């Protein structure tokens, strides 16, 4: 499955779940989105095609020059130093495991100050072989970007613990999300992918 098809599937899944939840504070129902750890903004570009998007801001650690009418990129250090904007939604696609699952609650608490609604796409490991399969695929997909390849990934127990520590409420967990088709799905099948929809219940 190509990156284009993969990101299209993610975009459709996000749209499907967003339509079920009234997260926009705007009269016309359009939302602002922060794409945390956006990479080359492929997911944002797909999501941007939907009519309910007002603006997307992507942030990541590296320098990346990109700007369009409704999409803007900002380096994460600059964003967190200068930003006091709130967003209708934060998305973090395959990002948390690179930061480290022990640091994930802290990151989620930080993101909860930016938005009341957070959608996470990440990986579940299922034992020793599964973990090293994920590490191999992560290395293959990210070796050119210099990102950290984790020594371990979430499992159901560690993810539940992460959510509890984050002070967020998980309103929906989508297990077995099929991100890939064909050969790549045989290598890294849907049991390794999940989507979590989180809400800051304090607001």
Would you state the pLDDT for residue 180? Answer: 62
Q: How confident is the model at residue 1 (pLDDT cuts 50, 70, 90)?
A: very low
Task: Give the residue from 183, 20, 23, 159 showing the smallest Cα distance to 91.
Answer: 23
Higher pLDDT, 51 or 5: 51
Task: Give the residue from 34, 2, 1 showing the smallest Cα distance to 120.
Answer: 34
State the burial class of residue 16 (Cβ atoms within 10 Å of its Cβ: 0-12, 13-18, 19+): exposed
Domain range for residue 36? 3-199
pTM greater than the 0.75 cutoff: yes
DSSP 8-class letter at 99 = H
Whose structure tokens read 């959510």?
163
Span 179-197, pLDDT tens digits: 766 556 667 788 999 999 9
Q: Does 30 score more than 80 pLDDT?
A: yes
174 φ/ψ angles, rounded to the nearest 5 degrees: -105, 100
Contact assessment for residue 174 and residue 18, using Cβ atoms and an 8 Å cutoff: no
Q: How confident is the model at residue 2 (pLDDT cuts 50, 70, 90)?
A: very low
User: Tell me, what CATH number does 125's domain have?
Assistant: 3.40.50.150
Tally of domains in the chain = 1
Span 54-102, pLDDT tens digits: 999 999 988 777 778 889 999 998 898 877 789 999 999 999 999 999 9
CA angle, corner 19, sides to 16 and 24, nearest 5? 135
**pLDDT averaged over the chain?**
84
Would you state the pLDDT for residue 147? Answer: 79
Structure tokens given for 25: 């504070």
């Amino acid at each position: 499955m190509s990156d284009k098809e993969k990101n299209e599937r993610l975009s459709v899944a996000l749209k499907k779940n967003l339509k079920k939840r009234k997260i926009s504070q705007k009269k016309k129902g359009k939302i602002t989105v922060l794409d945390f750890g956006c990479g080359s903004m492929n997911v944002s570009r797909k999501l941007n095609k939907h009519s309910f998007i007002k603006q997307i801001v992507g942030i990541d650690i590296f320098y990346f020059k990109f700007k369009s009418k409704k999409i803007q990129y900002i380096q994460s250090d600059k964003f967190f130093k200068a930003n006091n904007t709130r967003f209708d939604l934060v998305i973090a696609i395959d990002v948390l495991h690179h930061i480290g699952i022990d640091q994930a609650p802290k990151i989620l608490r930080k993101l909860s100050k930016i938005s009341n609604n957070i959608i996470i796409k990440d990986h579940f490991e299922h034992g020793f072989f599964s973990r090293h399969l994920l590490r191999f695929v992560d290395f293959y997909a990210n070796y050119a970007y210099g990102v950290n390849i984790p020594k371990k990934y979430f499992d159901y127990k560690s993810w539940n613990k992460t959510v509890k520590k984050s002070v967020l409420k998980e309103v929906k967990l989508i297990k077995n999300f099929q991100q890939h088709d064909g050969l790549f799905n045989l290598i890294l099948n849907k049991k390794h992918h999940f989507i979590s929809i989180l809400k800051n219940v304090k607001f």
